[in-house]
A and B are shown apart, each in its own frame.
Chain A
Amino acid sequence: MTNAIEIKNLTKNYKDFSLDNVSLTLPSGCIMGLIGENGAGKSTTIRLILNTVSRDGGEIKLFGKDNREDLSLAKEDIGVVPDEIGLPESLSAKHVGKIMSNVFKNWDAGAYAGYLEKLAIPEKRKFKELSRGMKMKLGIAIAMSHHPKLLLLDEPTSGLDPVVRDEVVDMFCDFTRDESHSILISSHIVSDLEKLCDYVAFLHKGKLILCEEKDRLKEEYRIVRGSKEEISGIPESAIIGRKVTPYGVEAIVHKNAVPAGAETGAVDIEQLFVFMVRKED
Chain B
Amino acid sequence: MKGLLIKDLYVAWKMCWSYLLLEIIFCLMVALGGTSPFMLLAASYLLSMVPMTILATDERVKWHIYADTLPVTRAQSVSAKFILSLILGAVSAAAIFVSGFIATVNPMLAGEGHTMGEVYATLLGCPVVIALASLCMPFIYRIGFEKGRLAFMVMCMIAGGGFGFIVSTGLDLLELIKLPSTVIIAAVLGVSAIVFAASWALSALLYKTREF
Contacts and interface: CB of A to CB of B under 8 A. Distances in A.
B10 interface: yes
A82 B69 CA distance: 8
Contacts of A91: 7, 10-11, 14
Contacts of B64: 86
Interface in B40-61: 57-58, 61
Interface residues of A, number: 30
A52 B69 CA distance: 8
Interface in A89-116: 89-91, 95, 98-105
Given A82-B69, A88-B61, A103-B71, A98 B6 contact: yes
Contacts of B165: none
Given A54-B211, A76-B71, A103 B14 contact: no
Contacts of B212: 52-53
Contacts of A105: 71
Contacts of B15: 90
Contacts of B71: 72-73, 75-76, 103-105
A87 B61 contact: yes
Contacts of A47: 68
B68 A88 contact: no
B6 A88 contact: no
B2 interface: yes
A47 B211 CA distance: 10
A53 B3 contact: no
A86 B63 contact: yes
A137 B190 CA distance: 49
Nearest to A54: B211
Contacts of A193: none
Interface of B: 2-4, 6-7, 10-11, 14-15, 57-58, 61-73, 209, 211-212
Interface of A: 47, 50, 52-54, 72-73, 75-76, 78, 80, 82, 84-91, 95, 98-105, 152
14 contacts: A50-B68, A52-B68, A72-B73, A78-B69, A82-B65, A82-B69, A84-B65, A88-B10, A88-B14, A88-B58, A88-B63, A89-B61, A90-B10, A91-B10
